[in-house]
Chain A
Amino acid sequence: MAATFATRTMTRTANISISLVLQAVIFVTMVGLVLWTMLFTPYGNIHDPLHALRHALYIIPCH
C-alpha cells in the first residue's frame, strides 16, 4: 500500500516537469530572445530586412 502511494506520488511528480514560475520565466526569456533577434541583433541577414520595422517602432536604437 505504501509502495503504491510512493509510486503514484513519484509518477505525479515526474509528470509535473517544471514549476509554473519557471515556465513563466522560460516564456519571457523566449520572447526576449525573439525580440532581440528581430530588433537588436546586428546580424546582417536579419538586421537589414527588418530595418524599416525597427525605425517604425521609434524606440529601437538602430544607427
Chain B
Amino acid sequence: MSRNPVAMLIAGLAAIVAIALLVVAFLGEGQRGGAHVAEEHEAAAPAPRQNNVTSGGYRLAISLSPDAGVVGEVVTITGRVTDASGQPVRNVRYELISHHLEDDVPIFRSTIVAPDGTFSWGNQFWDGTEHELRITASSADPAASFPQLRLVRVVDVEPLPPPVGVQVRALLWLLLPVALGTAIGIPLGLRAPARRVTNLRQTTATA
C-alpha cells in the first residue's frame, strides 16, 4: 500500500490551507457588520463638520436628521440663511452636492431656489462610507444680494455589509471561468500526450 510521498505532502498542505481558510471565514462571519475599522481611522483626521458658516453678517446654518447616515435610509438636511439681525433671507439659490470622499466623486448635485429661504433635502446615501455635503448659498434676488456662503459638512454613513446571497453570487461568477477552464482543460490536457503517442506509434508503424 505505497503512496506517492510528494502527493501526500501536497494533499496534507492543501488540507491545512483549507482548514485555515475555513477558520478565517468562520471568524469573519463573527465580525460581520463590524468591518471597515481601518479605513474609518484613516479618514477620521481631516473631517470638517461645519453646521454653519458666516460671511458679511449673513449666516448659513444646516441641521441633519439623523446626524449620521445609514445605507438605504434617508437623512433630511434642512438649512436657511439669516441676516445680521437673525431674520431669514428670502429668495436664496442653493447648490447642493453630496460628494463620495473615498472615490472622490460627486454622487448628487442639484441647484434649487427657495422663495422662503429654507431648503429641505432628503438624501439617501447609497454607500456605507463618508460623504461630504457641499452646500453653497447665493442670492436669487439681484435687488437683495448677499455674499456667497459655502458650507462643507462631512457625514458618516454606517457601512452595511452586503447580503451573503449577493456575495455568494459574485463568488460564483468568479468561479465560473475557473470551473469551465477545469472542465474543458483537464480532458484536453489528458488527451494531448496520448495523441502524440498515438501519432508516434503510427509514424513508427508506417516507417
- A residues within 8 Å of B by Cβ? 10-11, 14-15, 17, 20, 24, 26-37, 39-44, 46-49, 51, 55, 59-63
Cβ B170 vs Cβ A15 within 8 A: no
B21 x A44 contact (CB < 8 A):
no
Specify which chain A residues have a CB less than 8 angstroms from the CB of B173 in the assembled complex: 59
Shortest distance from the beta carbon of B129 to any chain A beta carbon, whole Å? 6
Residues in chain B near residue A24, CB distance under 8 A:
182-183, 186
For B, the interface residue count at a CB cutoff of 8 angstroms equals 48
Give bound CA distance, A60 to B172, whole Å. 11
Q: Which residues of B contact A (CB under 8 A)?
A: 1-4, 7, 11, 14, 17-18, 21-22, 24-25, 27-29, 31-39, 71, 102-103, 127-129, 159-162, 166-167, 170-171, 173-175, 178-179, 182-183, 186, 190
| Chain B contacts for A27, CB-based, 8 A | 182
A42-B37 in contact (CB<8A): no
- Can you name the residue of chain A whose Cβ is closest to the Cβ of B71? A63
Q: How many Å from the CB of A31 to the closest CB on chain B?
A: 5
CB-defined contacts of A49 to chain B, threshold 8 Å: 38
Pairwise interchain contact A35-B128, C-beta atoms closer than 8 A: no
Determine if A40 and B167 form an interchain contact, defined as CB atoms under 8 angstroms apart. Answer: yes
CB A62 to nearest CB in B, in angstroms, measures: 7
Interface SS of B by simple majority? helix
A41 vs B24: C-alpha distance when bound (angstroms): 8
Please state if B25 and A36 are interface contacts (CB–CB under 8 Å): yes
Whether the pair B28, A46 counts as a contact (CB closer than 8 A) is yes
In the complex the two chains form, is A43's CB within 8 Å of B167's CB? no
Nearest chain A CB to B200's CB is how many angstroms away?
24
Is the Cβ of A61 less than 8 Å from the Cβ of B166?
A: yes
Contact partner of A63 among B3, B11, B25, B127, CB < 8 A?
Answer: B127
Nearest CB of B to A15, in Å: 6
Measured CB to CB, the closest approach of chain B to A40, in angstroms, equals 5
User: Given A41-B24, A43-B24, A48-B36, do A31 and B178 touch, yes or no (CB 8 Å)?
Assistant: yes
Bound together, the chains give a CA A49 to CA B129 distance in angstroms of 16
Contacts of A10 in B (CB 8 A): 1
* Given A17-B11, A20-B186, CB of A61 within 8 Å of CB of B167: yes
- Beta-carbon contact of B38 and A34 below 8 Å: no
